[in-house]
Amino acid sequence: MQLGIIGGTGTEGRGIAMRLAAAGVPVILGSRSLDRAASAVAAILASAGTLPIEAATNGDAIERADVVVLSVPFECVGAVLDAHRFRFRQASLVIDVTVPLVFAGGTPSLAPVAEGSAAEFVRARLAGAVRLAATFKTIPASTLGRLDAPLDCDEFVCGDSIEARDAAVALLARIPTLRPLDAGGLDAARTLERMTALAITLNKRYKARAARFRVVGLPPL
């Protein structure tokens, strides 16, 4: 399996690249600029040691990947998908990790999205043969990037099909100290994206930086 990350130079993209590469997944870290992708990869390797991460343009990353993580700021998602719509492989899996956060006076909330959530916005702009899951919505980006710190939490996965969810769950299950949970259909992203804002609110309220979620009461999975 080859994983590509679109918008891989941001904090979230780098963190996902590091966690998955450290779990043995080959990662292509994409950026609009190949130079910036290469700099980000060099910085990751300098800090984390040898990991299977290489740099590419976003377009190349999409064309070469079986699984494409969409990790650009939400306000760029539409333009990125428009530009690269025909580069996705037929049966590829897209993983949306975007959250349409806005801050008013320091308080986070969600920008209204006509489709109901960022994930549903993405679904409406992908070819039908491309499957879509949404995850990595509720773990802080900075926490993902600290490879030495265990995640010790759950991460929710939703998707447009059982196949998409199972594939994303299996991918996340490769990351030690993280338990992926199948949260159902893509409209569950409406909940997960709100939970991002909730976690940020809790961080501010309790002077923390890494609030994230664990579900209590499930049997051993």
Q: Which is nearer to its own copies, 60 or 166 (CB)?
A: 166
Among candidate residues 149, 209, 167, 137, the one with its CA nearest the CA of residue 19: 149
Residues 137-196 that bind its own copies (CB under 8 A): 140, 143, 152-153, 156, 181-185, 187-188, 190-192, 194-195
Residue 180 CB, nearest approach to its own copies (Å): 12
User: According to CB under 8 A, which one of 102, 124, 163, 214 is a site residue for its own copies?
Assistant: 214
Smallest distance from its own copies to CB 128, Å: 23
23 near its own copies, rule: CB under 8 A? no
At 121, which amino acid appears? F
Q: Work out which of 1, 127, 170, 208 binds its own copies, going by CB under 8 A.
A: 208
Three-state secondary structure call for residue 112: coil
Compute how many residues bind its own copies; rule: CB under 8 A.
Answer: 40
Q: Which is nearer to its own copies, 67 or 188 (CB)?
A: 188
Whole-number minimum distance, CB 205 to its own copies, in Å? 5
Q: Is 10 exposed, middle or buried (0-12, 13-18, 19+ CB in 10 A)?
A: middle
| Burial tier of 147 (Cβ tally within 10 Å: 0-12, 13-18, 19+) | middle
Distance CA 198, CA 96 (A): 19
**Cβ-count burial 157-184 (b if 16+ within 10 Å, e if not):** bbbbeeebbebbbebbeebeebbbbbbe
Tell me the HSE value of 84 on the side-chain side, using a 13 A CA sphere.
27
User: From the CB of 152, what's the least distance to its own copies, in Å?
Assistant: 6
Judge whether 37 and 102 are in contact, CB under 8 Å.
Answer: no
Member of 66, 107, 124, 170 binding its own copies (CB under 8 A): 107
Residues 52, 100: Cα–Cα separation, whole Å: 30
Region of 33-41, 91-99, 124-132, 213-221 interacting with its own copies (CB under 8 A) = 213-221
Residues 57, 62: Cα–Cα separation, whole Å:
9
Q: Which of 11, 39, 161, 201 binds its own copies (CB under 8 A)?
A: 201
Nearest approach in angstroms of CB 140 to its own copies is: 8
Binding site for its own copies (CB under 8 A): 107, 109, 140, 143, 152-153, 156, 181-185, 187-188, 190-192, 194-195, 197-199, 201-202, 205-219, 221
